[in-house]
C-alpha cells in the first residue's frame, strides 16, 4: 500500500547530469550513472512519492500515458524494492521502456495529480523510475526472449525499423507469426539510430533490444527499400499482411525566405544523420559544425538535438531561434504553444552546455558571401498572432533588423509527413493533406492487408505514441490473420 503522504516527506529530485565540461566533450549520455546502490535508494525514494491515486491520471486518458503504463503499480513495487515484479509490470504495457525512459517527454508527469499545485512539490519523477526499472531489468538479466509457443504459419512484413515497426514486429512475433522487418538503411532503428543523438540514448541501448527481438525470432533485412529492391508484387506474394511503419521524415523547409539556397543552410536531419553515422564509425560527417557559427531555427526536440550535436562537434557559437515567446512559466499560461511541462521552462540539457536561445524572433533573410555561402542572418523581433481564420501568423513588432553571424544554419521547423517512396505508389496509396497515410478503425489502409502505424499514420510524434501504435496495429494484424487477438491495443487510430 503506497504512503499517501510520501510526497510530503520526500522532495522531487530529478536525475543528476554529468558536469557540463565532461558531457559536452563526449557523446555519452547526459545523465550521471550514480551506481546501482545509490540509484536503488534514490529511485525508491522518488517512487515513494506516488499516492496510488484512485483515478491515476498518469496512467492513461487524453493527457496521460498512451501505453497505459501501470504507473502506480510499479511505483509501489519499486518503493518496496521488488524490481523483478516492477520489470514484469512495466514490460506488460511497454516493449521498450529503456527508450521511453530516456526519450519521452513524459506526458504522464504532466498529468500526475501532484502537478496540480506548487505545494505538492512537483509530479512524481515517473520517467526516472521507468528508466531505472528498465536499466535494472537489463543489468539483472530480467529481460529475456519471449518466444511464441505455437507458430501461426502466417507471414508479416514490417516496413521500417523505428520504434513503431519494432513494437509491431515484437508483438506479432510473440503471437506466433513469422515477421520480417525491412529497413532501407544499412543499420536498424530508424530515428532511434540516425535521428536521436548518442548523448540522449547510446546505441548500445538499441542494439541489446534488437538482439532480444532476433532471439525471439524476428527477422531483419537491412539495406532494402521495399518497392525498389523488393517489388510490391513480391511483397504481396510472400507475406499475408504488411505493416507500414515508414516514419514521417519529410522535413519542413523554408523556401520563402531569401537566401534559403545558399550553401550552409540545411534541414536538421541533414546534420543529425551524418553526425550519428560518425558516432557509429562511418567517418567524418559531411556537415560538421566544428569552428562554425551555428544557428538552429526551431525550438523543439529536433532543434535541441542539433544544438547539442553542434556543441559536441566544436561549434564556434550556437544560437537557437524561435518565433514564439519564452516558454510559459506556468501551466495555465496560453501565450505559446510549447509542450506544457509543469511550471518549468521547456529546456533541454543541451541548453546548459553552451550557446544561447533567442525567442520571439524570425529570420528575414539568409545573407551570403560572394562564393554563395551563408554568413549572416537578418533577424527581426516578432509576435505570433491568429488571423481571422484562426491561422497562426507572424507579425514583426519592430523596424529594427539585427544581423547574426551564421555560417551553418539548421532548419528544425518540423516535419511534413511521409517521404515520397515508390512503395506507396505501388500499393496505390495516396497521402492525406497532412502528408500521412490514412487508415480505417482497424489500422488497415485502402490496400487490403496493408496496415499503418506510428509517425507514418500520426505525423511526427513522441516515441511513446509510436510504441503504442505499433502495439495496437499488431492486435489489428493478428485479428486480420487469425480472426481474434489477445494482444493489447492501447490506442485507436486518430
Identify which range of 37-45, 46-54, 151-159, 403-411 contacts ligand SF4 by CB under 6 A.
46-54
Point out which residues pair with 385 in neighbouring strands. Answer: 393
- Name the one residue in this structure whose C-alpha cell is 498529468: 111
Confirm or reject binding of residue 57 to ligand SF4 (CB under 6 A): yes
Q: In this complex, which beta carbon is closest to ligand SF4, that of residue 15 or of residue 418?
A: 15
Q: What residues from 109 to 128 belong to the interface with ligand SF4 (CB under 6 A)? A: 112-114, 124, 126
Identify which range of 84-92, 107-115, 229-237, 282-290 contacts ligand SF4 by CB under 6 A.
107-115
Number of residues in contact with ligand SF4 under rule CB under 6 A: 15
- How far is residue 202's CA from residue 197's CA, in Å, rounded to a whole number? 8
- C-beta atoms surrounding 347 within 10 Å: 12
Q: Residue 219 class from Cβ within 10 Å (0-12 exposed, 13-18 middle, 19+ buried)?
A: middle
Confirm or reject binding of residue 74 to ligand SF4 (CB under 6 A): no
Confirm or reject binding of residue 68 to ligand SF4 (CB under 6 A): no
- Name the one residue in this structure whose C-alpha cell is 534559403: 260
Q: In this complex, which beta carbon is closest to ligand SF4, that of residue 36 or of residue 63?
A: 63
- How far is residue 79's CA from residue 71's CA, in Å, rounded to a whole number? 12
Q: Cβ of residue 13: shortest distance to ligand SF4, in angstroms? A: 15
- How far is residue 88's CA from residue 435's CA, in Å, rounded to a whole number? 38
Q: Cβ of residue 69: shortest distance to ligand SF4, in angstroms? A: 10
Identify which range of 34-42, 54-62, 150-158, 182-190 contacts ligand SF4 by CB under 6 A.
54-62
Q: In this complex, which beta carbon is closest to ligand SF4, that of residue 48 or of residue 192?
A: 48
Best CA proximity match to 407, nearest among 371, 357, 368, 354: 368
Q: Cβ of residue 2: shortest distance to ligand SF4, in angstroms? A: 7
Confirm or reject binding of residue 459 to ligand SF4 (CB under 6 A): no
Q: In this complex, which beta carbon is closest to ligand SF4, that of residue 81 or of residue 258?
A: 81
From candidates 58, 191, 243, 429, binder to ligand SF4 by CB under 6 A: 58
The pair phi, psi for residue 413, each rounded to 5°, is -110, 25
Q: Cβ of residue 347: shortest distance to ligand SF4, in angstroms? A: 23
Best CA proximity match to 466, nearest among 90, 474, 226: 474
Q: In this complex, which beta carbon is closest to ligand SF4, that of residue 2 or of residue 473?
A: 2
- C-beta atoms surrounding 394 within 10 Å: 14
Contacts of 238 (CB under 8 A, 6+ apart): 155, 157
From candidates 15, 43, 71, 450, binder to ligand SF4 by CB under 6 A: 71
Point out which residues pair with 242 in neighbouring strands. Answer: 157, 450
Identify which range of 53-61, 235-243, 250-258, 322-330 contacts ligand SF4 by CB under 6 A.
53-61
Q: What residues from 119 to 178 belong to the interface with ligand SF4 (CB under 6 A)? A: 124, 126
Identify which range of 21-29, 51-59, 314-322, 345-353 contacts ligand SF4 by CB under 6 A.
51-59
C-alpha cell at position 247:
516514419
- How far is residue 303's CA from residue 241's CA, in Å, rounded to a whole number? 37
- C-beta atoms surrounding 49 within 10 Å: 29
- How far is residue 83's CA from residue 143's CA, in Å, rounded to a whole number? 12
From candidates 24, 43, 48, 50, binder to ligand SF4 by CB under 6 A: 50
Q: In this complex, which beta carbon is closest to ligand SF4, that of residue 115 or of residue 489?
A: 115
C-alpha cell at position 39:
540509484
Binding residues (CB under 6 A) for ligand SF4: these are 50-53, 56-58, 71-72, 75, 112-114, 124, 126
Amino acid at each position: 500500500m503506497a504512503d499517501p503522504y510520501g510526497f510530503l516527506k520526500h522532495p522531487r529530485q530529478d536525475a543528476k547530469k554529468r558536469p557540463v565540461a565532461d558531457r559536452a566533450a563526449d557523446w555519452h549520455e547526459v545523465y550521471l550513472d550514480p551506481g546501482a546502490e545509490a540509484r536503488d535508494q534514490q529511485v525508491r525514494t522518488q517512487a515513494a512519492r506516488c499516492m496510488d491515486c484512485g483515478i491515476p491520471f498518469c496512467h492513461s486518458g487524453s493527457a496521460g500515458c498512451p501505453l497505459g503504463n501501470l504507473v502506480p503499480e510499479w511505483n509501489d513495487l519499486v518503493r518496496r524494492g521488488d524490481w523483478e515484479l516492477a520489470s514484469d509490470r512495466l514490460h506488460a504495457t511497454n516493449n521498450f521502456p529503456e527508450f521511453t525512459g530516456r526519450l519521452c517527454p513524459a506526458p504522464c508527469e504532466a498529468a500526475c495529480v501532484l502537478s496540480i499545485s506548487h505545494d505538492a512539490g512537483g509530479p512524481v519523477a515517473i520517467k526516472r523510475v521507468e528508466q531505472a526499472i528498465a536499466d535494472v531489468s537489463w543489468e539483472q538479466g530480467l529481460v529475456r526472449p519471449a518466444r511464441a509457443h505455437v507458430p501461426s504459419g502466417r507471414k508479416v512484413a514490417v516496413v521500417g525499423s523505428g520504434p513503431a515497426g519494432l513494437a509491431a514486429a515484437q508483438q506479432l512475433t510473440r503471437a506466433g507469426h513469422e515477421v520480417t522487418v525491412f529497413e532501407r538503411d544499412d543499420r536498424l532503428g530508424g530515428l532511434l539510430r540516425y535521428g536521436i543523438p548518442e548523448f540522449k540514448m547510446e546505441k548500445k541501448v538499441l542494439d541489446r533490444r534488437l538482439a532480444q527481438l532476433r532471439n525471439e525470432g524476428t527477422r531483419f533485412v537491412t539495406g532494402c527499400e521495399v518497392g525498389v529492391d523488393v517489388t510490391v508484387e513480391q511483397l504481396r506474394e510472400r507475406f499475408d499482411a504488411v505493416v507500414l511503419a515508414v516514419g514521417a521524415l519529410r522535413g519542413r523547409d523554408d523556401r520563402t525566405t531569401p537566401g534559403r539556397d545558399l550553401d550552409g543552410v540545411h534541414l536538421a536531419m541533414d546534420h543529425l544523420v551524418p553526425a550519428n553515422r560518425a558516432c557509429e564509425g562511418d567517418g567524418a560527417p559531411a556537415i560538421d559544425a566544428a569552428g562554425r557559427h551555428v544557428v538552429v531555427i526551431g525550438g523543439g526536440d529536433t532543434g535541441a538535438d542539433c544544438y547539442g550535436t553542434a556543441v559536441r562537434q566544436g561549434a564556434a557559437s550556437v544560437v537557437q531561434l524561435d518565433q514564439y515567446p519564452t516558454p510559459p512559466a506556468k501551466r495555465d499560461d496560453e501565450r505559446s504553444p510549447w509542450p506544457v511541462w509543469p511550471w518549468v521552462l521547456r529546456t533541454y540539457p543541451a541548453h546548459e552546455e553552451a550557446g544561447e536561445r533567442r525567442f520571439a524572433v524570425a529570420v528575414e533573410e539568409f545573407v551570403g558571401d560572394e562564393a554563395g555561402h551563408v554568413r549572416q542572418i537578418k533577424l527581426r523581433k516578432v509576435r505570433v498572432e491568429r488571423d481571422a481564420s484562426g491561422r497562426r501568423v507572424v507579425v514583426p513588432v519592430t523596424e529594427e533588423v539585427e544581423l547574426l553571424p551564421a555560417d551553418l544554419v539548421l532548419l528544425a521547423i518540423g516535419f511534413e509527413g511521409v517521404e515520397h517512396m515508390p512503395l506507396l505508389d505501388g500499393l496505390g496509396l495516396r497521402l492525406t493533406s497532412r502528408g500521412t497515410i490514412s487508415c480505417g478503425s482497424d489500422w488497415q489502409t485502402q490496400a487490403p492487408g496493408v496496415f499503418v502505424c506510428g509517425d507514418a499514420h500520426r505525423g511526427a510524434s513522441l516515441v511513446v505514441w509510436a510504441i503504442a501504435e505499433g502495439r495496437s496495429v499488431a492486435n489489428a494484424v493478428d485479428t486480420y490473420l487469425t480472426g481474434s487477438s489477445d494482444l493489447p491495443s492501447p490506442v485507436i487510430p486518430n
